[in-house]
């Protein structure tokens, strides 16, 4: 049974400015959940999102408040005896809050894996791959700087798949930026993420140019509310169109798959509402003949490890993953960082998530944030 649930806000600066259509990031606030059980086991989860409320309806502060106020008292009072029963309890009593639910499930699965002595991936059906290809996002907004950064990543054998964040600039400026980078990196896979910024007419013009320029993948070019428009784009172009923000939970993913709205689904465990929900989306997509991409909310190493366990179970993963979040941060909160090498990430093999959290670093950043918040509040 659960003895305690603690939620921590852990802001860590990024190694450089990360520019998206909806926001500009200079730090990432990790939302960490630490659960301890009566028999002495502990688990960690993460509910990290992007850009406060500019990206989604949950923010770091609302996630912490809701877990502390609603999730923790309910779980401790009702004392569910398994991860499945705990998640069913949360589903019955708490609407929405997919990111918060993901963090709780991650921590509980971490505990369950440790108790049984197996990796989380084995609790999710079993892994079929031990390494994951990882894309790097180029998001400085400066063409020459992005090209230099990408070439350095290739030389270090860290990444050879690159995503470009566009949509915040005029259409022609963004297209010129992307095509110049593709010309400079002809042997690399280049994808673009518009983060819903284009109208459907802009998307028709933009995707035509990008397809002619041999870009490999177009992610969520128009609003998530325009499901029919996404389908029209998918049917009109040969380049793969990926659904991202529109893919939210398994039921939503089922309807998108049935309507053939996209060529590829980006699966994000926080956005899906948990690891098991992420696995179900992957299975639905596979059965519908839709390709899979392992997405990220720019999580730190805990959420990244959890995502890696999920993506390792996917039957196919032809568009690889975007699990570079920890590499974007100036510091690591694990005793031993996740293992990135030869353009891949190794899926942890230890019990549970297979990671060891550096408590001192977590405490340092959490206390620093708490002290700053207290001084601002007078």
Active-site annotation holds for 64: no
* Same domain membership, residue 280 and residue 326: yes
Q: Is residue 96 part of a domain?
A: yes
Name the domain count of the chain. Answer: 2
Residue 37 counted as domain residue: yes
Q: In this structure, is residue 32 part of a structural domain? A: yes
Task: Residue 30: give its domain's CATH number.
Answer: 3.30.390.10
pTM attached to this predicted model: 0.95
Q: Is 351 part of a structural domain of the chain?
A: no
Pair (332, 206) in one structural domain: yes
The parent domain of residue 8 ranges over: 2-118+356-376
CA–CA separation, 274 and 71 (whole Å): 15
User: Based on the domain organization, do 106 and 148 belong to the same domain?
Assistant: no
* Per-residue buried b or exposed e for 189-217, using 16+ beta carbons within 10 Å of the residue's own CB: bbbbbbbbbbeeebbbebbebbbebebbb
Looking at the structure, do residues 338 and 320 belong to the same domain, yes or no? yes
Instruction: Give the C-alpha distances (Å, rounded to integers) separating 297 from 217, 244, 261, 301.
Output: 18, 11, 22, 12
| Residue 337 and residue 301 in contact, taking contact as beta carbons nearer than 8 Å | yes
> CA 242, CA 368: separation in Å to the nearest integer?
39
Which region holds residue 21: left if phi is over 0, alpha if psi is between -120 and 50, else beta?
A: alpha
35 part of a folded domain: yes
Domain identity same for 208 and 324: yes
Residue 372 domain-assigned (yes or no):
yes
Q: What is the CATH number of the domain that holds 282?
A: 3.20.20.120
* Catalytic residue from among 64, 101, 163, 165: 165
Written in H, E and C, the secondary structure of 90-135 is HHHHCCCCHHHHHHHHHHHHHHHHHHHCCEHHHHCCCCCCCEEEEC
Q: List per-residue pLDDT tens for the chain, 378 residues long.
A: 899 999 999 999 999 877 766 677 789 999 999 999 999 999 999 999 987 777 778 999 999 999 999 999 999 999 999 999 999 999 999 999 999 999 999 999 999 999 999 999 999 999 999 999 999 999 888 999 999 999 999 999 999 999 999 998 999 999 999 999 999 999 999 999 999 999 999 999 999 999 999 999 999 999 999 999 999 999 999 999 999 999 999 999 999 999 999 999 999 999 999 999 999 999 999 999 999 999 999 999 999 999 999 999 999 999 999 999 999 999 999 999 999 999 999 999 999 999 999 999 999 999 988 887 766 665
Query: Which value, to the nearest 10 degrees, does the dihedral of the CA atoms of residues 366, 370, 373, 378 take?
Result: -170
- What is the rounded distance in angstroms from the CA atom of residue 179 to the CA atom of residue 80? 53
């Amino acid at each position: 049974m659960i003895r305690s649930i603690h939620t921590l806000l852990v802001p860590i600066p990024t190694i450089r400015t990360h520019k998206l259509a909806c926001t500009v990031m200079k730090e990432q606030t990790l939302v960490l959940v630490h659960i301890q059980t009566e028999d002495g086991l502990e688990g960690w989860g993460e509910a990290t999102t992007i850009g406060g409320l500019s990206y989604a309806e949950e923010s770091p502060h609302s996630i912490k408040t809701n877990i502390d106020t609603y999730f923790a008292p309910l779980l401790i009072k009702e004392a569910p005896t398994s991860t499945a029963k705990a998640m069913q309890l949360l589903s019955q009593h708490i609407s929405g809050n997919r990111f918060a639910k993901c963090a709780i499930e991650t921590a509980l699965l971490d505990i369950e894996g440790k108790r049984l002595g197996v990796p989380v991936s084995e609790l999710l059906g079993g892994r079929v791959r031990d390494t994951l290809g990882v894309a790097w996002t180029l998001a400085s907004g400066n063409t020459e700087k992005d090209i230099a950064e990408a070439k350095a990543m290739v030389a270090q054998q860290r990444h050879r798949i690159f995503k470009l964040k566009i949509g915040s600039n005029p259409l022609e400026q963004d297209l010129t930026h992307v095509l110049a980078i593709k010309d400079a990196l002809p042997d690399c896979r280049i994808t673009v993420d518009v983060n819903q910024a284009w109208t459907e007419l802009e998307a028709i013009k933009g995707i035509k140019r990008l397809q002619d320029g041999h870009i490999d993948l177009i992610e969520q070019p128009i609003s998530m509310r325009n499901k029919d428009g996404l389908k029209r784009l998918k049917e009109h172009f040969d380049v793969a169109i990926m659904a991202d923000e529109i893919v939210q939970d398994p039921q939503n993913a089922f309807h998108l798959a049935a309507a053939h709205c996209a060529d590829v689904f980006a699966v994000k465990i926080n956005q899906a509402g948990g690891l098991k929900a992420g696995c179900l989306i992957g299975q639905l997509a596979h059965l519908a003949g839709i390709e899979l991409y392992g997405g990220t909310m720019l999580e730190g190493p805990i959420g990244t490890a959890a995502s890696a366990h999920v993506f390792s179970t996917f039957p196919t993963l032809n568009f690889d993953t975007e699990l570079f979040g920890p590499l974007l941060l100036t510091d690591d909160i694990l005793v031993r960082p996740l293992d990135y090498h030869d353009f891949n990430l190794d899926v942890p093999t230890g019990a549970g998530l297979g990671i060891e959290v550096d408590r001192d670093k977590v405490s340092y950043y959490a206390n620093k944030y708490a002290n700053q918040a207290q001084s601002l509040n007078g």
